Amino acid sequence: MVLLVSSVPTFASSSRPFSRLISFKSARRPRLPAFMTRQHRDVMPSIQLQAATFTTNHSSVQSNEIILPERVYGYRTTPLTWSELKSIVLEEQNLAKLSRSVEQERDYQIYLRDLKKEWRSVYNHILVSKFGFEQQRGIEARAGESNATLQTDDGADPENSKWQAYPPLSQVKTILKVLKRNDFPYFTDEGIEHWVLWKLVENITDDEIEEAKQQLCQMLGDVVDLLHWVNPPHLKSLPEIDHAHILCLRQKQRK
């Protein structure tokens, strides 16, 4: 088994029962109506944001309307402190309370929307961006398949022109682990870093999580505390690739 560690952020998400519990800049934050108090914001289940224009390295892109997912506890309006995180993860064991801010969630949803336009699935993107798999256009990867469909007006199925990983997840037989920064972490205090340990083929073990935590301590050098968890099934956004979340509290920015 191979464990790769990278300090360069890549896209990540959340993952298994609580018996294993152990932490682009875009458009400006939208103004909420003046009549809305903090209580309104905390319990508001869904926020609809109008189209926003944001700039990429190549061009200005007009985003479509973004509908944020409903959350039982709403979106964070203040950063999660380390004490709050320990209480939620270790004592309450209620991971649904972990969330991003409205602005962070909007950026995440825009990212997902645009990713799905270019990739056959989020899984394909993860295999390429996290594990270093070969990146191919779908039409290239499926050239040898007898059931490949090429039947749109321009002669190709739109899905076939999207990027995908090679080999695909269904053909992966080798166990591989990577430890990466989370591109879209929860809304936390400064000095708290969110890492994700990903594993192909098999589920992550407790020993592997402890090993990853030790490597973070050695690599970062100033870690004073850590938290980790694996999401229960109903909170897993990518159930086919197991992953564990690790939060690090670093000494140099500790208040």
What pLDDT shows up at residue 251? 87
Is 16 part of a structural domain of the chain?
Answer: yes
What pLDDT shows up at residue 172? 97
What pLDDT shows up at residue 210? 98
What pLDDT shows up at residue 235? 86
Over the range 6-26, which residues count as b (16 or more CB within 10 Å of their CB) and which as e? eeeebbbbbbbeeebebbeeb
DSSP structural state of residue 31:
P
Is 206 part of a structural domain of the chain?
Answer: yes
Cβ neighbors of 130 (< 8 A, separation 6 or more) are: 10, 11, 12, 178, 180, 198
Over the range 196-232, which residues count as b (16 or more CB within 10 Å of their CB) and which as e? bbbbbeeebeeebbeebbeebeeeeeebeebbbbbbb
What pLDDT shows up at residue 196? 98
Largest CA distance in the chain: 61
The answer to whether the CB of 223 falls within 8 A of the CB of 248 is yes
User: Six-digit token pair at 74?
Assistant: 């709403």
Number of domains composing the chain: 1
Shortest CA distance to 196 belongs to which of 216, 217, 208, 182?
Answer: 182
Write down the H helix ranges in 56-134: 82-86, 102-118, 122-129
Cβ neighbors of 128 (< 8 A, separation 6 or more) are: 134, 135, 163, 165
Q: In which domain, by residue range, is 107 found? A: 2-28+38-253
d(CA 181, CA 5): 9
Is 158 part of a structural domain of the chain?
Answer: yes
Is 73 part of a structural domain of the chain?
Answer: yes
d(CA 247, CA 255): 16
What pLDDT shows up at residue 65? 81
d(CA 108, CA 111): 5
What pLDDT shows up at residue 142? 53
Is 225 part of a structural domain of the chain?
Answer: yes
d(CA 219, CA 6): 10
Per-residue pLDDT of the chain (255 residues; tens, 9 = 90+): 445 554 444 444 443 333 343 333 334 444 444 434 444 444 333 333 333 333 333 333 344 588 999 999 999 999 999 999 999 999 999 999 999 999 999 999 999 999 999 999 999 999 999 999 999 987 655 554 444 443 334 445 567 789 999 999 999 999 999 999 999 999 999 999 999 999 999 999 999 999 999 999 999 999 999 999 999 988 888 999 999 999 999 986 555
Question: First and final CA of the chain: distance in angstroms?
Answer: 38
Is 7 part of a structural domain of the chain?
Answer: yes
User: Six-digit token pair at 56?
Assistant: 């990429």
Shortest CA distance to 65 belongs to which of 85, 43, 82, 49?
Answer: 49
What pLDDT shows up at residue 160? 75
The distance of Cα 112 from the centroid of its chain, to the nearest Å, equals 10
Is 33 part of a structural domain of the chain?
Answer: no
